[in-house]
A and B are shown apart, each in its own frame.
Chain A
């Protein structure tokens, strides 16, 4: 999955629910440098419907979303801005 991007950090937010999902993703992105790439594993349902848009509204760039076919998705995000 996502082999075309060089992943700088990976987090799994399948063990938490909204709004902690977004908070964990936001914290992980804060620790990256501009242009670095984060891979986020998240659950189907509410997380996948809300987290990508919320991250986009923070100004980051969504590169990819893959269905892992196991009830989870992998979201690839590029950090924009510091």
Chain B
């Protein structure tokens, strides 16, 4: 006997609950996604009809030196920004989790960079990192270190951007703090009774218990880093560096290059191909991270 497929009542309810996203996705996102996939197979400048060229845009990417430079800059940022941002957020969360006075004030102060517009951050940090009279190099000079030319030396531009973003971790700091406060106190008590010191309690109790949150942060920060745009564009605007994003295009990130191709040069088809390649790379990295998560993420299951 054939069984008719019927949704259970709770399945219907679930679908209705997620309907705001589904409807929004279908109306505002699905169309542009499909259109961009098609446009990536065309040459298109918005004003004239798209011209189908098959995979030519993807083939051209292989020989595009600037694409390679933008991808390298972006992966550099991902590799170094991700771990430093997570470490900073975790350290701040651990400090705030300690029973110190005025926690809410500290929390607000550390959260401030998160809500500061990227333009303001860029201007502020250009002053701090100014090679000749910036605050950071003045401090370094005070302890006998000659600071680098952060903003004009191509080798130091990306580290300076990573340094700036390391202070913009307010959201993750709050998330980690919530996770820390969720760790059952009895686990610490049990560990203490067993003679564990502070480091051992952190290593064997805290880290495993918040590992799922850290893993989520790793994925989210990786995706954010792949899409980094604003801070590079505002700190090293092409108008200042003569058409370049920082000296020798050292701050030319993937999304900046994509924006340039689409809206400065009207290469919409090529830009669409760039977007899909970025999607594929991000998806691949995320899948690898998911695969590796079984070795690092503590799963609390009841069997």
Tell whether A and B belong to one assembly. Answer: no
Query: Hey, which bits of chain B sit against chain A, CB under 8 A?
Result: none
